[in-house]
């Protein structure tokens, strides 16, 4: 006869393997984002490292590319980028706003409409985005 399981025999969800794997991944990412770089590397080019970290965030280059032609509404950006969640898109737009790359303008209409556009600092990224697109067109199929 099998022993009947009680609620105390079942481990809580935070002790299950999938939860621990996700938690370990998050902790590893947080450690990578906050860990100190070696003084030699930081001395070489901290501005380059900061710019590379900013553009290396998922979806950021596509969001900037979506805004290059001109101001767009949230839904237009989401449709351009593709399979990004509203929450993540909102987070990235806030980060870009904080970095001074994007501005948010609320139009006083009924209902209120928010538009996002690149600042002059953001428009300077056009050459970078175009260069990345040229490289992708030439080499991405071989990766």
Looking at the structure of the chain, the number of domains it has is: 1
Query: Does a structural domain hold residue 77?
Result: yes
| Sign of the CA dihedral running 55, 60, 62, 66 | negative
Which residue range is the domain that position 127 belongs to? 47-142
Q: Work out the average pLDDT over 67-80.
A: 96
Query: Does a structural domain hold residue 68?
Result: yes
By percentage, how much of the chain surpasses pLDDT 70? 68
Query: Does a structural domain hold residue 19?
Result: no
What backbone phi and psi angles, to 5 degrees, belong to 126?
-55, -45
Q: Which of 117, 132, 115 is nearest to 55 (CA)?
A: 132
How do residues 74-120 score in pLDDT, each as one tens digit? 999 999 999 899 999 999 999 999 999 999 999 888 888 899 999 99
Query: Does a structural domain hold residue 78?
Result: yes
- DSSP for the chain reads -PPPPPGGGSPPGGGSHHHHHHHHHHHHHHHHHHSPPPHHHHHH-HHHHHHHHHHHSTTHHHHHHHHTTS-EEHHHHHHHH-S--HHHHHHHHHHHHHTTSEEEEEE-SSS-EEEEEE-HHHHTTHHHHHHHHHHHHHHGGG-
CATH number at residue 62: 1.10.10.10
Query: Does a structural domain hold residue 3?
Result: no
Query: Does a structural domain hold residue 41?
Result: no
Query: Does a structural domain hold residue 58?
Result: yes
Q: Over 60: is that where the pLDDT of 22 sits?
A: no
Lowest mean pLDDT among 16-20, 31-35, 101-105, 108-112: 16-20
Query: Does a structural domain hold residue 13?
Result: no
The answer to whether 118 touches 101, Cβ cutoff 8 Å, is yes
Q: What pLDDT band is residue 141 in, cutting at 50, 70 and 90?
A: confident
How many other C-beta atoms lie within 10 A of the C-beta of residue 118?
Answer: 23
By percentage, how much of the chain surpasses pLDDT 90? 45
Q: What pLDDT band is residue 126 in, cutting at 50, 70 and 90?
A: very high
More confident residue, 64 or 42: 64
């Amino acid at each position: 006869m099998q022993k009947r399981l009680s609620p105390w025999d079942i481990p809580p969800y935070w002790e299950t393997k999938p939860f621990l794997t996700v938690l370990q991944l998050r902790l590893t990412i947080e450690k990578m984002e906050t860990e100190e770089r070696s003084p030699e590397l930081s001395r070489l080019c901290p501005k380059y490292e900061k710019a590379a970290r900013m553009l290396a965030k998922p979806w950021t280059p596509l969001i900037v590319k979506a805004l290059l032609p001109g101001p767009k509404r949230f839904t237009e950006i989401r449709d351009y980028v593709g399979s990004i969640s509203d929450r993540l898109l909102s987070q990235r737009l806030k980060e870009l706003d904080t970095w001074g790359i994007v501005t948010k303008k609320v139009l006083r209409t009924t209902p209120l409409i928010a538009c996002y556009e690149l600042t002059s600092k953001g428009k300077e990224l056009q050459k970078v985005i175009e260069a990345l697109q040229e490289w992708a067109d030439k080499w991405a199929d071989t990766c």
